[in-house]
Amino acid sequence: MIEQYHGNYQFNEQVIKSNAPLLSGVYYCGHLNQNGSLNPDYIGRASGYGVSIRSRLIDHLNNYWTGVTHFGFYICSTPQEAEQFEVAEISKFNPRYNQRIG
């Protein structure tokens, strides 16, 4: 079961450590639009097994992504659920920092 959306939080280490869980799920890094909604520039997945939403977001702090100011996430019950949801969300939003294949 995918939980409700959590966000939009500022994309910095202190806020990530305070708000991002040590759980599996799908996370979004992006910027806020005029309505205050998050426009995703990158969508990723934390599969669990020692790889959490928090650890992945902290890893991404080292990326130089122009315009990324906020993050949000969904917690997923299983790694398979997170993987399927990530694929669907990347197809839906086509974020600029996700690699394109083909």
pLDDT of residue 48: 83
Would you say residue 76 lies in a domain? yes
pLDDT of residue 101: 54
pLDDT of residue 73: 98
Would you say residue 43 lies in a domain? yes
Give tens-digit pLDDT for 7-34.
Answer: 999 999 999 999 999 999 999 999 999 9
Q: What is the mean pLDDT of residues 61-84?
A: 94
Would you say residue 1 lies in a domain? no
- CA dist 29 and 31 (Å) reads 7
CATH of the domain at 70: 3.40.1440.10
Would you say residue 98 lies in a domain? no
State which residues form the domain around 35.
6-93
Residue 71 tokens, joined: 């993050």
Q: Give the type of residue at 88.
A: A
Q: Is the pLDDT of residue 68 over 80?
A: yes
Would you say residue 11 lies in a domain? yes
Q: Is the pLDDT of residue 37 over 80?
A: yes
What is the number of structural domains in the chain?
A: 1
